[in-house]
Amino acid sequence: MDRQMKKMMAQAQKMQQSMMKAQEELADERIEGSAGGGMVKVTVTGQSEVVGIKISPEAVDPDDVDMLEDMILAAISDAVEKSRKASKDKMSGFGIPAGLGGMM
């Protein structure tokens, strides 16, 4: 193998290691989304995996379960959107298309 090819292979391997480290960091990162003025909070990883839900007692109205469900969905959407942005930001330096950063 000529010197140029060895250099390219070394660079590719270094990039792969950097990407793996970024993925590990995203898996460890915790991002919170909320709805209803903070009455419902959802925590996701940097890879958009839901890992926690907190519901304030004030959000629980037995006569209006639909509103609570809507707040939970809104909080999940908020957290996942923030997670996707974090993943996109972290993986953008590797030339990874948007949306694939959390899948690698």
Domain span at 76: 3-94
Each residue's pLDDT tens digit, 10-21: 888 888 888 888
- Is pLDDT of 95 > 90? no
Interatomic CA distance for residues 83 and 75, integer angstroms: 12
Residue 97: what pLDDT? Answer: 58
- Residue 103 inside a domain? The answer is no
Residue with tokens 């298309």: 97
In angstroms, the CA 39 to CA 57 distance is 8
Domain-located, residue 11: yes
Question: β-strand 30-35 against 40-45: which pairing, if any?
Answer: antiparallel
DSSP structural state of residue 31: E
* Residue 84 domain-assigned (yes or no): yes
Distance of CA 15 to the CA centre of its chain: 21
Alpha carbons 13 and 33: distance in angstroms, whole number: 35
Flag whether 99 is in a domain. Answer: no
Has residue 71 been placed in a domain? Answer: yes
CATH of the domain at 27: 3.30.1310.10
In a domain, 101, yes or no: no
Residue 43 lies in a domain: yes
Q: Is residue 81 part of a domain?
A: yes
Number of folded domains that form the chain: 1
pTM above 0.75, yes or no: no
Backbone CA torsion sign across 72, 74, 75, 76: positive
